[in-house]
Amino acid sequence: MSVVKRARGTEGKPVTVVTNSFEITRLPTKQFYMYDVVIEPEPKHARHAQEILDRLQNHTEPRVFTPKAVYDGKAILFASHQLRLSGGAAGQFAVAMSDRPPPAGAVARRGVYNVKLSRAAAQTIDFSALTDLITERAVSSPRTLTAINLLQLLIRAAPNLMYPHNLRAYYTDAGKEQIGGGLELWRGFFQSVRPSIGRMLVNVDVSVSAMYEAGPLPDVALSVLGRLRNVRDLELAPGDANYRKLKSFFKNIFVRVNPTGGIPNARSPKKLIRDLVPYAGDFVFEKDGMSTTVEKHFQLAHGYHLRYPRIFGIRVGSKEKPIVFPAEVCVVVDGQLYKKKVPQELTPKVVKFATRRPKERLQTIEQGHGDRMQAPVLAYQSSPFLQDAGMQVAPSPIKINGRILPTPTLFFAGNQALNVDEGAWNIMRNQFRTPKPLIAWAVVDFAHSRTNYNSEQKATEFVQMLKNCFSSLGMKYLDPFMAKANDQADQAGHSKSLRNIAASTMDHAGQQAMQFPPAQRPPKPANVALIIAILPYPAPDIRRAVKHFGDVQEGIPTQCIRVDKLKSGNSLNQYCNNVALKINARLGGENSIARSRALSELQKAKFMIVGADVGHPGAGMPNQPSVASLVWSYDEHAVKYAAFSSVQQPRQEHIEELDLMMKRALDAFGGINNGPPVRIVFFRDGLSEGEFEGVGTIEIEAIQLAVDEIWNARGLTATKPKITYIIVGKRHHVRFFPSDAQGADRRSGNCKAGFVADNGLDSPMAADFYLQSHGGLLGTSCPSHYTVLRDDIFGKHPDALQQLAYTLCHCYAKATRSVSIPAPVYYADLVCARAKFHFDTHLGYDDTLTNSSGGAPFKLEPWKDGYRPLHDALKRSMYFL
């Protein structure tokens, strides 16, 4: 794929900022040798493989590995000298993970790994290719990628030996915080080497990770279950929902065991939990040819009387030869990363723990976490791996020059202009630019028997306040039909019956909503425009049923309201205004439009803005598909969008049906606008840098193929549209810090909304820029990273593309603030998130308790068959808001 030619913008007020990047002032002076690594039996994961290689270098053969080599956790070892191997270019080592001698007469030793090393055929690494890359004398190649990977390993090697880590970031228990649910939060540091024009940089950022709560296993189990306080509450039958929850939570985590009770020694071997066993004290097994129970065995063999023989235990052996330990003699090992998604109810605690204002964040990056953890940049000076390589990193972060872009102007009813103040605006005393009337609508209360709230009173207050907001915003309306959900819906659980009961309740409410009193009867028959569902919290089962009814079954826009959000006074007024934003946009209205010079230029001919994303199944759910989405604009202001979605293989990043979705979008756009678009601006969410070449190329070709096929099929004579393809990334760790108060947002201390940087951190591999389009609220704002892989439209005018992206960040229909990514990218993400409402419930999509790998191959067909399409009535609506 050819690299987009680089041009830099000039528009905006100049400003200087500090970054969290540190220059590598001297690349390694040594050349490195590569060795292929094979470990048998195969390690469980990358961290386990690292532990084996660390043991090899530090205990098994330290003389061979002096100075130490660095290992990528997979298949490559890098050494700054040629290793003295028994076979010359190859060698084998038996690595015992324990210092204990093997049992007498043992034929094979457990915990012993055979490590095979062989000199790789690839050239030695001397880093000259990196110099050519950053000076733009050469493009990226396998040699440069290997050299960058080696630099990553060198800067991470020392701390990864000392602290728990996920390869890219390491963590310490200094200031850790238990948050319930069997979890605790640790702070640490992320490190990454990045090439920039003229220099190599190390990006350092603070990081937070959830860990399994350490401590006695019964205590952690009670934390997982939340409401239970007595250890005897853990006397659970296998069919109990709490038992299933514990079984899912504890599988494949490590514990230490003390057979006589109490806290086990830190040197006690770790045991991996394979499964849970109910009523562990009663478990029967063979011992010396005799049947006995776990309770009797512990009493006779260890002199320990189980205090809670009826609570669960753990199995650490195979199914054929199970080894069972009671939970009360087990302690969860600390520093184990929790790789699944943190439960939604705990997310606010994670956000609070992770939130740090810009000055505090930068100080931590430069100095570390007090006495307990030194900042990485300070530790580089003493790292034996960097010292051996001859590599040096500057101790202070770099400063770069950026610009504050002009802010777009918003227009409401009557072409009334509204200025944006530091990324925010107030819709009070303004009306929607194009308000839609709300004629037939209903409000259904699902919370009346599930919560302690007086939901009937709250529903009445909410509807009255909502109508007041409608009036002030220019929306006409009739009174809604008010209904209470059938109590059966509260007792049905997450099942097909709940879906049927909720659908029946909402269908009845919809029918009643169309029965108007004579004085209010509209001149034309009205369809149900909206159903509002007031839900208890949490209630994912009811929300899923409501959305399936609206999105898939009946094609009726739905709005879910959490009953705990229905406060009183100004907070309710603000909440109702936000709800009104979503409702008007769902009905096809325009809340406001944004104007800027870049958008005005684009409006001179027909154009289409596209947002696309792929949503992947969460961690711990390997047998579920990914969902791809595409949203496309069809109006001249780029505020109205339609959406498509499709199901594809798990973890497949490129959009498999992109050409089909683009053809449908182009066809529909032509029908609405009496002709095809002249320009297509395609924003793609979520690709990593390693996917630019492969996925980016595939998708650009798919877009062009869709255009070619539509032009051929329709016999179009118009010039084919120009295409610009931009990747929008948020999963990075680059941050910007104002160098003085004048460049700071007065409320949060972040850079001001509209800050853009395309010089100083720019990549030599593709044209890119960073844009911080939103005003800060809490913590340190994260800019979005835009990488341009094809640009037929703005190639010589980067100011126009940067300004367009910034303008689209003011078009997110359900916000009164500029957002961090362009609205179509946000919308594509929302469409992916709504996939769970389209699947048949029996498939258990997004359900961690009913999905596990089980070793069975994944089959896509049942998921495609069980994915119900969006109802035709919503195909041009923004139902996803």
Q: What is Dmax (Cα atoms) for the chain?
A: 97
| Highest mean pLDDT: which range of 26-40, 486-500, 518-532, 764-778 | 26-40
One-letter amino acid identity for 603?
Answer: Q
Residue 62 vs residue 99, higher pLDDT = 62
> Which residues make Cβ contacts (< 8 Å) with residue 676, sequence separation at least 6?
606, 666, 669, 670, 710, 711, 716, 718, 721
Average pLDDT over residues 48-57: 93
> Which residues make Cβ contacts (< 8 Å) with residue 795, sequence separation at least 6?
4, 5, 7
> CB–CB of 603/677 below 8 Å?
no
Q: Which secondary-structure segment (H or E) carries 270? A: strand 270-272
> CB–CB of 721/677 below 8 Å?
yes
State residue 878's pLDDT score.
96
Structure tokens at 352: 């609070």
Structure tokens at 96: 């015992």
Cα distance from N-terminal residue to C-terminal residue, the chain: 36
- Give per-residue pLDDT as tens, 770-793: 999 998 888 999 999 999 999 999
Average pLDDT over residues 655-673: 97
The three-state secondary structure class of 807 is helix
CA 783 – CA 733 distance, rounded (Å): 9
The three-state secondary structure class of 581 is helix
User: Helix 217-225 to helix 241-250 angle, to the nearest 10 degrees?
Assistant: 120
> Which residues make Cβ contacts (< 8 Å) with residue 743, sequence separation at least 6?
15, 16, 17, 404, 751, 752
Q: How confident is the model at residue 178 (pLDDT cuts 50, 70, 90)?
A: very high
In this predicted structure, which of 307-311, 440-444, 467-471 has the lowest mean pLDDT?
440-444
> CB–CB of 58/119 below 8 Å?
no
> CB–CB of 361/367 below 8 Å?
no
pTM of the model: 0.92
- Estimate to the nearest angstrom the gap between the alpha carbon of 587 and the chain centroid: 30
Work out the mean pLDDT of the chain and round it to a whole number.
90
Average pLDDT over residues 12-38: 96
- Give per-residue pLDDT as tens, 829-861: 999 999 889 998 888 787 655 444 455 788 999
Hey, what domains does the chain have and what are their CATH numbers? 215-332 (2.170.260.10), 435-586 (3.40.50.2300), 593-868 (3.30.420.10)
Q: How confident is the model at residue 497 (pLDDT cuts 50, 70, 90)?
A: low
Average pLDDT over residues 497-503: 72
Strands 530-535 vs 558-562: parallel, antiparallel or unpaired: parallel
Percent of the chain with pLDDT over 70: 94
Structure tokens at 446: 């699902």
One-letter amino acid identity for 571?
Answer: S
The single residue listed with the structure tokens 């009643």 is 512
**In the predicted model, is pLDDT for residue 488 greater than 60?**
no
CA 721 – CA 699 distance, rounded (Å): 16
> Which residues make Cβ contacts (< 8 Å) with residue 105, sequence separation at least 6?
none
- Give per-residue pLDDT as tens, 735-772: 999 998 888 888 889 999 999 999 999 999 899 999 99
State residue 374's pLDDT score.
86
**In the predicted model, is pLDDT for residue 2 greater than 50?**
no
> CB–CB of 811/420 below 8 Å?
no
State residue 623's pLDDT score.
85
